[in-house]
């Protein structure tokens, strides 16, 4: 019975890792499409939203089935609980990628390069946070999570830097308001993705240690 349950958990974990690759890849492609005016890549991101939903529904159903069938305890139950939470955060991360991809056509060549470099730089900080949180889940190790508070603070500062520059761009010319509003929202999306990475890290910490922490 325990062997069958752990087999199911291993399979579920593999699907979570696949979902993480999909969600993070959607965001990565969306940022690349944005910075390189690649409409075809942006469209491919939007088309992946259905795969993201399928992962979310399938993993949730199988995790609940495993809990009901085997009534796990201790770390096995915490691991299944973490899975149910983590897929919610991954789904939101992937959806942010879809939303960013959706405005690529509106922003083609209409923004200052400094703002786009800021967005790309911000993503270069957020992506490793997501990857490290998922690696911690995969390996059941929490060492990579130790500096998440500082890393989250850095992402917050980047968001506000982009906000201030965007507001200046609006003041410079009211015609820039719509464009800058999109940039501000994209920076907000990336900040939220950093927050989701922190929430994944919190759940992994509880999964491994049985103790709750608060990162963001």
What is the pLDDT, as a whole number, of residue 131? 97
Contact 74, 206 (CB under 8 A): no
What is the DSSP-derived secondary structure letter of residue 92? H
- pLDDT for residue 80 is more than 70: yes
In a domain, 35, yes or no: yes
Apex 152 CA angle, 201 and 176, nearest 5:
130
In a domain, 10, yes or no: yes
In a domain, 100, yes or no: yes
In this structure, the dihedral spanned by the alpha carbons of residues 19, 119, 136 and 13, taken in order and rounded to 10 degrees, is 0
pLDDT per position as a tens digit, 154-174: 999 999 999 998 899 889 888
Share of the chain above pLDDT 90, in %: 79
Q: 59-63, 76-80, 103-107, 151-155 — which is least confidently predicted?
A: 103-107
The mean per-residue pLDDT over the stretch 52-66 comes to 97
What is the pLDDT, as a whole number, of residue 117? 78
Write the CATH number for 77: 1.20.58.220
Q: Taking all residues of the chain, what is their mean pLDDT, rounded to a whole number?
A: 93
The span from the CA of 20 to the CA of 9, in Å, is: 16
In a domain, 190, yes or no: yes
The mean per-residue pLDDT over the stretch 189-203 comes to 98
- pLDDT for residue 82 is more than 80: yes
- Model confidence pTM above 0.75: yes
Nearest CA to 93 out of 204, 183, 159, 190 is that of 190
In a domain, 111, yes or no: yes
Which stretch of DSSP H or E encloses residue 71? Answer: none
The better pLDDT of the pair 113, 83 is held by 83
In a domain, 214, yes or no: no
In a domain, 215, yes or no: no
Containing domain of residue 124, as a range?
A: 2-209
How many domains are contained in the chain? 1
Calculate the alpha carbon distances from 24 to 71, 96, 109 in Å: 32, 10, 25
In a domain, 216, yes or no: no
- Reading the block at residue 103, the tokens are 């405005």
């Amino acid at each position: 019975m325990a062997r069958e349950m752990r087999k199911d958990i291993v399979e579920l974990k593999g699907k979570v890792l696949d979902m993480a690759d999909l969600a993070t890849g959607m965001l990565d492609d969306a940022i690349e499409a944005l910075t390189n005016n690649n409409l075809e890549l942006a469209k491919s991101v939007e088309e992946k939203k259905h795969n993201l939903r399928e992962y979310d529904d399938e993993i949730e159903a199988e995790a609940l089935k495993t809990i009901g069938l085997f009534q796990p305890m201790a770390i096995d139950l915490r691991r299944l609980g973490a899975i149910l939470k983590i897929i919610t955060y991954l789904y939101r991360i992937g959806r942010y990628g879809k939303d960013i991809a959706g405005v690529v056509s509106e922003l083609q060549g209409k923004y200052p390069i400094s703002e786009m470099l800021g967005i790309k730089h911000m993503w270069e900080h957020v992506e490793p946070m997501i990857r490290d949180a998922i690696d911690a889940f995969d390996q059941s190790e929490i060492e990579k999570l130790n500096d998440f508070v500082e890393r989250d603070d850095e992402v917050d500062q980047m968001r506000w830097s982009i906000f201030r520059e965007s507001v200046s761009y609006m003041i410079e010319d009211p015609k820039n308001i719509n464009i800058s509003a999109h940039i501000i929202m994209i920076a907000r999306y990336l900040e939220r993705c950093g927050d989701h990475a922190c929430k994944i890290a919190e759940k992994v910490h509880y999964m491994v240690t049985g103790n709750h922490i608060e990162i963001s």
